[in-house]
Structure 1
Amino acid sequence: MRKTAMLAAAACAAAVIAAPAGPALAASGSFTGTLPDGATWVADVPSHWNHTLILYSHGYGPLTAQDAPDAATKGQLLAGGYALVGSSYSGPSWWATASAVGDQFSSLAAATRITGAPRRTIAWGTSMGGLVSALESENPRHLIDGTLTTCGLVAGALNLNDYQLYGEYALAHLLAPAQAIKLVRYADATEAGAAATQLSTVVSGAQGSAAGRARIALGAVLLNEPGWFTGATAPAPRDYAGQEAQQEQEIATFLLPFIMSGRQQIELAAGGNSSATRGVDFSAVLRSSAHAGEVRALYRDAGVSLDADLRKLTRDADITADRRAIATLARTSMVTGRLGVPELDIHTIADQLVPVEQENWYGKQVRRRGSGPLLRQAYVNTTGHCAFQPAETIAALHAVEHRLDTGRWGDTSPQALNAAAAVLGGTGRYLRYDPPRLVGGLGEPR
């Protein structure tokens, strides 16, 4: 009763709804509205609603309302009887975590005026939206019952900014020390884009020499980048040349343009730069990586001193952080790990934008806070950011529902999730996997 009352009260104050007011009965169709802060929301309700409402949080990108990760998954969810709702977020930039949780709960309230009170509500987030849904898990406000995060940025913005800067700095300083490549405090998106193009060109050019390839591998490891970008299978564990070739492709053609432009949007939201290189011991950071062997092997083959490069990086590091930006992102874009509802996270094992290592950091944080029994994590054997089949994500959703129905987790093993995906028409690529340690994250060697 408390959940129903809170939703109804919030709905009265939260939204301008593009549907007539009426009794607490489900209405089917597509609905839109605008929240007082300017965010928009969208909801889809099937005629055969199963009384489960999915609160979907979209990832980093344009502030456009979405209520599902993709059209195929949306179609299957609606066919299965689920109602869907999600907001655009109100900004102030594409990094919208400061407003996202409030906008999502207000959108939920608006949708509930249309559907009536759901039997249960499940938060579902993708990428940056996975961070949003993880934050909702920590303060569910008696409005959500469980959470599914997919390819979630669950280690938060401070970790993200730190390790990305470490990798960018290593690439710029070792491959093009004479070039002034700006890495932080961008004036605007144009300046960030120009810097990304400049560094991408440097990386592409360095691939032609053994020394360049060794230094690209070092940058890739500091970035937590996987050695699998294209192809049906990953390079062999000791195929370091093959792994580096894949890393160069992803860094130069895909990663740097995305993350350096993304940094400008995060800085806009944070009011400055949250990450620093000054005081970082890059030898210690590399030692913390499970993939340091790749770097050592390629440096040895190139006849270049890895120790000298690491000393150079440590000695010359001079980028400082803005305290205001750190405080803002700590408040709006970092988890505590203290869960209020059950949560299942799924991640591909080779994710270029949100490395799977984030799940290692997050799992430790949740267990440290005593919430380990509420969390389950599962991994899909493929490359790509959020590269899931609809059947794989819906199988994970059913696992969350089982937890809500029974009060205990059922079988979330790879075999069980793959079998559930097969029932839904997918092949299922879940595997048993232990994600490596996040390199350069909070609490790592500094």
Structure 2
Amino acid sequence: MPRMRPRMLAAACAALLVSLATPSVAAQAASPGHASGTLADGATWIADTPARWNGTVLFFSHGFGPTTAADAPSPAAKAALLNAGYALAGSSYDPNGSMWALESAERDQFATLAAFRHDVAVPTRVISVGQSMGGLVNAQIARDGAGRVDGALGLCGLVAGGLDLDNYQLDAEYTLTALFDPADAARLVNLPSAAEANSLAARLTTAVTAAQQTPAGRARIALAAAYLNLSDWAPGQSAPAPGDYTAQEAQQYSWLAQGLLSFIVPARWSVEQSAGGNTSWNKGVDYAALLRDSAHARQVESLYRGAGLDLHADLTILTRHARVTADPKAVARVRRSSTAGQGLSVPLLDIHTTSDQLVPVEQETAFAARVRASGDGALLQQAYVARQGHCNFTTAETIAALHALEHRLDTGHWADAASPARLQESAVDLNLDGAAFTAYRPARLTGAGRR
């Protein structure tokens, strides 16, 4: 028997040790499994593998909320993805901080991927998936994941980032307090507790409910909704006609009255807690110019005329009394931890519902502009679903989008894989729960890019 050279022997031994220390794809292909563990910062991770694994792991970044590990956007999607042969993994993020966990989320997701490789198996392909706030994490992973991630799929992602989110929400809340609830106008930021944030949200909701009873109130609600980038298509209703401004406002009011303020006001408080101070400001903002940039400007102007109100006077009051300033250190912290779009290192497909009350679809416009400015526009594709609600996707839409991304990874080009027609056809062919992909171009994100 020929003797093995020392270098060859060392390589063979190393390969044997790796094969013994790291589970192989084949070892996990025989039966479904579940694994879990704890990361260095106390975050937990979970992973699920199917009976017949195709070698791809989808590691999932969950949205704003309790820091509990999740590895799929919904139970239905989880079952369908496992049935299709994908392995799933995801972390909780650091459980010791705010639910706005951007300080730890990207780090914990990469640590989860390393734990999967060590404790479960070595994948042949890695795809990052993120939903809502996790869509922002996902965009960061698509920016920073070269060599660790092959591609990324974003679902209703908060891709404009934390600063833009806080600022346009502040503009809307400031408008509501200035016009309906002056006692709270100076108490919008630096709230001492979650309970105070909830109380403020309740007072604003009560004020909006009362204002809806008069033409003047409805016009002013429309003004605040414009600054909030709030969709005019509410659940359970048909989309209003483009020029039916009264119907548009009525559906915007439906969003506000059905708990929207009770979510976004406490959520902004969580961002402040994470950043260590106030991260939004309006001092120096010209509210007339801000309205001119809004897709809802004509609606607001029409409703003001119908109510006999002086729009210029209200805009002057808003501009003159805008005095909120931010904590520079908190702003710097959120700018570092909670932004994306500075570039992409892997292909990213974002999908978004056209009527998203929590993460307005206009965020995709701001994000795409940043990616193009970085020179990586060819790596980004965006697609839209004609439906109301935040992250309100069917399982078929999610899987069809995943297949479009895989086409890009397999071929090196998007071709028409992410076009509305092809996505719709792909989703319908799955024969699951329907689809509504549509050709759509979001408007500009009002209040974005404040410096």
TM-score (norm 2): 0.92
CA RMSD of aligned residues (A): 1.5
Distance 1:240 1:423 in 2: 38
Tell me how far 1:181 sits from its aligned partner: 6.5
8 A contact 1:157–1:333 mirrored in 2: yes
In structure 2, what is the equivalent of residue 53 of structure 1?
57
SS of corresponding position for 1:376: strand
1:339 pairs with 344, 351, 354, which one?
Answer: 344
Q: 1:387 to 1:23 in 2, by over 3 A?
A: closer
1:261 is matched by which residue type in structure 2?
P
In structure 2, what is the equivalent of residue 420 of structure 1?
426
Check if 1:377 corresponds to 2:382. yes
8 A contact 1:277–1:319 mirrored in 2: yes
Tell me how far 1:427 sits from its aligned partner: 2.6
Structure 2 counterparts to residues 230-379 of structure 1, below 5 A = 230-379=235-384
Check if 1:432 corresponds to 2:439. yes
8 A contact 2:22–2:117 mirrored in 1: no
8 A contact 2:94–2:101 mirrored in 1: yes
In structure 2, what is the equivalent of residue 24 of structure 1?
24
1:81 is matched by which residue type in structure 2?
G
8 A contact 1:151–1:385 mirrored in 2: yes
Check if 1:77 corresponds to 2:95. no
In structure 2, what is the equivalent of residue 144 of structure 1?
149
Check if 1:34 corresponds to 2:38. yes
Distance 1:185 1:134 in 2: 29
2:33 is matched by which residue type in structure 1?
G
Residues 234-261 of structure 1 show CA distances to partners (whole Å, capped at 9, x for unaligned) of 1111111111111112113221100100
Q: 1:251 to 1:135 in 2, by over 3 A?
A: same
Tell me how far 1:22 sits from its aligned partner: 5.5
Structure 2 counterparts to residues 202-217 of structure 1, below 5 A = 202-217=207-222
Structure 2 counterparts to residues 386-425 of structure 1, below 5 A = 386-411=391-416, 412-425=418-431
In structure 2, what is the equivalent of residue 116 of structure 1?
121
Higher mean displacement: 112-121 or 400-409: 112-121
Distance 1:261 1:293 in 2: 31
Residues 270-311 of structure 1 show CA distances to partners (whole Å, capped at 9, x for unaligned) of 011111111100000000112101100100000000000000
8 A contact 2:174–2:185 mirrored in 1: no
Residues 332-356 of structure 1 show CA distances to partners (whole Å, capped at 9, x for unaligned) of 0011431000000000000000000
Question: Sequence identity, in percent?
Answer: 52
In structure 1, what is the equivalent of residue 66 of structure 2?
62
2:286 is matched by which residue type in structure 1?
D
Residues 114-173 of structure 1 show CA distances to partners (whole Å, capped at 9, x for unaligned) of 442211100000000000000001100411100000000000000000000000000110
SS of corresponding position for 2:90: strand
Structure 2 counterparts to residues 181-192 of structure 1, below 5 A = 182-192=187-197
Residues 397-418 of structure 1 show CA distances to partners (whole Å, capped at 9, x for unaligned) of 0000010011111312111000
Higher mean displacement: 403-412 or 67-76: 403-412
SS of corresponding position for 1:97: coil
Check if 1:442 corresponds to 2:446. no
Distance 1:181 1:217 in 2: 22
Distance 1:256 1:74 in 2: 30
Give structure 2 stretches of 5+ with no counterpart.
1-17
In structure 1, what is the equivalent of residue 181 of structure 2?
176
In structure 2, what is the equivalent of residue 201 of structure 1?
206
Distance 2:321 2:23 in 1: 67
Distance 1:24 1:80 in 2: 19
Tell me how far 1:176 sits from its aligned partner: 2.2
1:69 is matched by which residue type in structure 2?
P
8 A contact 2:160–2:339 mirrored in 1: yes
SS of corresponding position for 1:405: helix
TM-score (norm 1): 0.93
Check if 1:93 corresponds to 2:103. no
Distance 1:196 1:308 in 2: 26
8 A contact 1:203–1:216 mirrored in 2: yes
1:59 is matched by which residue type in structure 2?
G
Distance 1:420 1:42 in 2: 30
Give structure 1 stretches of 5+ with no counterpart.
1-11, 13-19
Residues 180-208 of structure 1 show CA distances to partners (whole Å, capped at 9, x for unaligned) of 57211111111110111111110111000
